[in-house]
Amino acid sequence: MIAFARSQVGKRYVTGGSGPNGFDCSGFTKRAYALAGIRLPHSSGAQAARSRGVSRSQARPGDLVVGPGHVGIYMGRGMMIDAGNHRTGVVYRKVYNGLRVARIS
């Protein structure tokens, strides 16, 4: 999952996209988790509902990073990879304010 997420940095943001040429936020996480054998819905809210919050001190690479209408993949050391928006595409960046770390239970 982590290697896949890293390999997608630079891909474009596509509304409703789940790859291979572009992603929206939940399509990106859905595809990455599928590679680990975990089926997720194509909705950031539905993915968040399937997870449970964990503290940032307990966060592990591969956890979800969730917020209102958004989801990404935690990479460790306060960083994440997500399909941000049409301007950014898939990027590696700091976990910004308003997001929480969650783990699929």
Find residue 90's DSSP bridge partners.
Answer: 83
User: 63 catalytic, yes or no?
Assistant: no
Q: Exactly one of 24, 42, 63, 82 is catalytic; name it.
A: 82
Catalytic annotation on 25? Answer: yes
Beta strands at 100-104 and 22-23: parallel, antiparallel or unpaired: unpaired
Active-site hit among 24, 42, 63, 70: 70
List 25, 42, 63, 86, catalytic entry: 25
Give the whole-angstrom CA distance, residue 89 versus residue 10. 6
Active site residue 86: no
Which residues are the active-site residues? 25, 70, 82
